[in-house]
Amino acid sequence: MGKTMDDDGFMREAIRDAMASGHRFGAVVVRDGRVIGRAGRRPKNDARYHAETEAILQAGRDLEGCTLYSTCEPCIMCFYMAWATGIKRIFYGARIRDSIGQGIPEIDISAEELNGRSGGGIELHGGFLIDECLELLEGKKRMGGKF
């Protein structure tokens, strides 16, 4: 399948979501060229609230064929939710190791490895708009001067 003309715009929407919410991570779920879920405002420092899981929960249960855009590579929990709900494509910017490098606790396992172990059913596009996503992760992109 590959990249579409809208992929840049949807990833930038995930970046804007993170900035507007004062978080380092943002995500949106897209169906048929329309955002149907976004992370939005959520508690900080609570492991139950990840950008991807919040966007997926907002989007609904059956996300067959949808695309997830995330500013960082999905962790095990987030990848599982994408896989279990039928998301077909994931675009992410920064990698798990980039997050770990910022002192954010993560289990060091890649989305590629998780995808392989789950049957390889998700089309992955890592390092997408990585410079902008790294700036967000490192705290260089802010909206309202907060994180």
Residues known to be catalytic: 52
Per the DSSP assignment, residues forming a β-bridge with 52 are none
Amino acid at residue number 36: I
CA 21 to chain centre: 14
Per the DSSP assignment, residues forming a β-bridge with 91 are 69, 125
- Assigned token pair, 97: 């190791």
What CA–CA distances, in Å, run from 143 to 17, 92, 139?
A: 10, 21, 10
3 state SS of 60: coil
